[in-house]
Chain A
């Protein structure tokens, strides 16, 4: 190996970069992380471009909307100028990217506030609902997927697959209405579908932004109960729909694993059936399921927008819905970037998890 002697720390010559790379490459995990981060960044750049031009090139002028139906040409032009819409698109894009570099997603013209602040405020509501729904999804689809695989070919399997196909066909907003009708209107088990807390109950002091957690942290049981009361129905509704594809994935992965030689070995040496299914098979099936969780994330996010609408849930789904209605371009772009970033980060985490679970993948 030929190492050039270090020419001094302040020297920004290529050889320094070379040494830098060599150090990184000597640590497989670090090297891997860098490559993945680089790729993720590239994807993100692509998304920024797509998000910007998709929202700008297509017809629909925010200035017109802002000026209102009775506005004259002069007023529209004034707003266009004020919002920077009169400049060439390339300039607007450059401006957007520069601001983005400073962590600034631009201003929402409806509220005159920075988009990143508004998203930050609303993200916890969406995350709380999404995570609750995801947990419920696992609680539904794990047992069903396992049952269907273990009893594959029987009536149980058939019924579960029918459920999954049906679940994939159910319109979420319709299911939500059925649930509200039954649980709120008919049986009075659920509160009215109006946001995260009953009107008159104060939000708990903000720590995580999750009302259920924050209220517990504050020791406020009543608020906790109210938050939970508002959370369970939208979460379960969303979970029902997401668990359809999830059940299918778990079933397929389990079927695949149950056919493997090592399962036969475990049975041949007398490992109890329950342990084989829950330990040997499930852990191995987890790997293919994990790699498809990007799809599940997609279902959760798309579903969130609809569920938030039906339950008047003040999350980012509602935010983008309102923004689209009035051509609030910066808000829409901010939403797109946020979702894409989370998705990319999620994939990064999945890959790392994957290498932790599967000893065959040691990132070299």
Chain B
């Protein structure tokens, strides 16, 4: 078997709340991601999916502390890396897109400039060239009339459009590992399908490895090869998608399937 691109070992993360009480939100998370695969991470809201992803990015909030564990990436333990070297990996090696794409863009900056900035950072182009390249990437991300749209501010875009802008940024980064944290939450259903298709197409084209966080098992079955099931800060089961759907091992997975596989989202779903 090939070497994993990324391996998380026994990750413990605690969060200190406003009152100074600490709560362990990741309790020994372990799983691997192999090159070029699409890995799904599913679980209820609050189970710790986002925190896991942020730990991979080294972007945990101030109040969260990594207690113990290792994250192997490209032969080195990210958690033991000096801050500066970890920063250098962000964007170029690992990149991430988030839910709520409109809030994920700088409200005071035209989106074309935001994409161009990432192009400049990672492809070393001049200002004009980077902007032109950015327009190309926006087009690749499925935006029409790019020269007009690029001059828009984030609040003038729809959620789906904003997510495409973020995807264009990812295209500029060309990371080895792309993490997508519920990239379609809050978008229209038809747009959701388009965005997933786009992400999938890019993954194939660039040969990027993808960690897709979602609550939508339907998407998992279509897009992912393997999937990790998370509950209350622990990974309960990791399996190939086909196996998981054929015979879920863990009782929680079965429960999750019965609740999440419905077409509509559960009524109490937040975020």
Q: How far is the CB of A69 from chain B (nearest CB, A)?
A: 64
CB–CB B107/A284 < 8 A: yes
Q: How far is the CA of A360 from the CA of B108 in the complex (A)?
A: 8
Q: How far is the CB of A151 from chain B (nearest CB, A)?
A: 10
CB–CB A268/B107 < 8 A: no
Contact A260-B103, Cβ < 8 Å, known A265-B98, A271-B121, A284-B108: yes
CB–CB B59/A264 < 8 A: yes
Binary per-residue interface labels of chain A (254-266) against chain B in the complex, 1 for a CB within 8 Å, 0 otherwise: 0000001110111
Q: How far is the CA of A358 from the CA of B108 in the complex (A)?
A: 6
Tell me which residues from 232 to 267 in chain A have a Cβ below 8 Å from any Cβ of chain B: 260-262, 264-267
Contact A270-B173, Cβ < 8 Å, known A359-B107, A360-B107: yes
Task: List the A side residues contacting B169 at CB < 8 Å.
Answer: 265, 269
Binary per-residue interface labels of chain A (87-131) against chain B in the complex, 1 for a CB within 8 Å, 0 otherwise: 000000000000000000000000000000000000000000000
Contact among A261, A267, A360 for B153, CB-based, below 8 A? A360
Would you call A357 an interface residue if the criterion is a C-beta within 8 Å of the partner chain's C-beta atoms?
A: yes
Q: How far is the CA of A32 from the CA of B270 in the complex (A)?
A: 39
* Chain B residue nearest to A281 in the complex (CB): B106
The 8 closest A-B CB pairs, nearest first, are A270-B91, A261-B103, A359-B153, A265-B104, A268-B96, A269-B91, A262-B106, A270-B90
Contact A269-B90, Cβ < 8 Å, known A152-B62, A357-B108: yes
CB–CB A271/B91 < 8 A: yes
Mind listing 26 A-B residue pairs with CB under 8 Å? A152-B62, A153-B62, A261-B100, A261-B104, A262-B104, A262-B106, A264-B59, A265-B169, A267-B57, A268-B59, A268-B90, A268-B95, A269-B91, A269-B121, A269-B172, A270-B95, A270-B121, A270-B173, A271-B91, A271-B117, A271-B118, A271-B121, A272-B121, A359-B108, A359-B155, A359-B156
Would you call A280 an interface residue if the criterion is a C-beta within 8 Å of the partner chain's C-beta atoms?
A: yes
Task: List the B side residues contacting A284 at CB < 8 Å.
Answer: 106-108
Q: Is the interface of A mostly helix, strand, loop or mixed?
A: helix
Q: How far is the CB of A22 from chain B (nearest CB, A)?
A: 27
Task: List the A side residues contacting B106 at CB < 8 Å.
Answer: 262, 265-266, 280, 284
Q: How far is the CB of A268 from chain B (nearest CB, A)?
A: 4
CB–CB B92/A270 < 8 A: yes
* Chain A residue nearest to B58 in the complex (CB): A267
CB–CB B166/A265 < 8 A: yes
Would you call A273 an interface residue if the criterion is a C-beta within 8 Å of the partner chain's C-beta atoms?
A: yes
Q: How far is the CB of B117 from chain A (nearest CB, A)?
A: 7
Known: A261-B104, A270-B92, A360-B153. 16 other contacts (CB 8 A): A261-B100, A264-B98, A265-B98, A265-B166, A266-B106, A268-B91, A269-B90, A269-B118, A269-B172, A270-B95, A270-B118, A270-B121, A280-B106, A284-B107, A359-B156, A360-B155
Residues in B lying within 8 Å of A, measured CB to CB? 57, 59, 62, 87-88, 90-92, 95-98, 100, 103-109, 117-118, 121-122, 153, 155-156, 166, 169-170, 172-173
Question: How many chain A residues touch B (Cβ–Cβ < 8 Å)?
Answer: 22
* Chain B residue nearest to A266 in the complex (CB): B106
* Chain A residue nearest to B91 in the complex (CB): A270
Q: How far is the CA of A249 from the CA of B109 in the complex (A)?
A: 23
* Chain A residue nearest to B166 in the complex (CB): A265
Q: How far is the CB of B194 from chain A (nearest CB, A)?
A: 21
Task: List the A side residues contacting B118 at CB < 8 Å.
Answer: 269-271
Task: List the A side residues contacting B155 at CB < 8 Å.
Answer: 359-360
Contact among B59, B97, B156, B172 for A267, CB-based, below 8 A? B59
Would you call A25 an interface residue if the criterion is a C-beta within 8 Å of the partner chain's C-beta atoms?
A: no
Task: List the A side residues contacting B96 at CB < 8 Å.
Answer: 268
Would you call A283 an interface residue if the criterion is a C-beta within 8 Å of the partner chain's C-beta atoms?
A: yes
Contact A261-B98, Cβ < 8 Å, known A267-B59, A359-B107, A360-B155: yes
CB–CB A283/B62 < 8 A: no
CB–CB A270/B98 < 8 A: no
Task: List the A side residues contacting B173 at CB < 8 Å.
Answer: 269-270
Task: List the A side residues contacting B107 at CB < 8 Å.
Answer: 262, 284, 358-360
Binary per-residue interface labels of chain A (137-160) against chain B in the complex, 1 for a CB within 8 Å, 0 otherwise: 000000000000000110000000
Q: How far is the CA of A264 from the CA of B97 in the complex (A)?
A: 10
Task: List the B side residues contacting A358 at CB < 8 Å.
Answer: 107-108
Task: List the B side residues contacting A280 at CB < 8 Å.
Answer: 106, 109
Q: How far is the CB of B53 from chain A (nearest CB, A)?
A: 10
CB–CB B103/A262 < 8 A: yes
Q: How far is the CB of B179 from chain A (nearest CB, A)?
A: 8
Q: How far is the CB of A354 from chain B (nearest CB, A)?
A: 12
Task: List the B side residues contacting A360 at CB < 8 Å.
Answer: 107, 153, 155
* Chain B residue nearest to A284 in the complex (CB): B108
Task: List the B side residues contacting A265 at CB < 8 Å.
Answer: 97-98, 104-106, 166, 169
CB–CB B104/A267 < 8 A: no
Tell me which residues from 347 to 364 in chain A have a Cβ below 8 Å from any Cβ of chain B: 357-360
Q: How far is the CA of A260 from the CA of B88 in the complex (A)?
A: 22
Q: How far is the CB of B71 from chain A (nearest CB, A)?
A: 16
* Chain B residue nearest to A259 in the complex (CB): B61
Task: List the B side residues contacting A272 at CB < 8 Å.
Answer: 87, 121
Q: How far is the CA of A241 from the CA of B33 in the complex (A)?
A: 56
Q: How far is the CA of A102 from the CA of B92 in the complex (A)?
A: 68
CB–CB B90/A264 < 8 A: no
Contact A267-B105, Cβ < 8 Å, known A261-B100, A360-B155: no
* Chain A residue nearest to B121 in the complex (CB): A270
Contact among B87, B100, B105, B108 for A273, CB-based, below 8 A? B87
Q: How far is the CB of B135 from chain A (nearest CB, A)?
A: 17
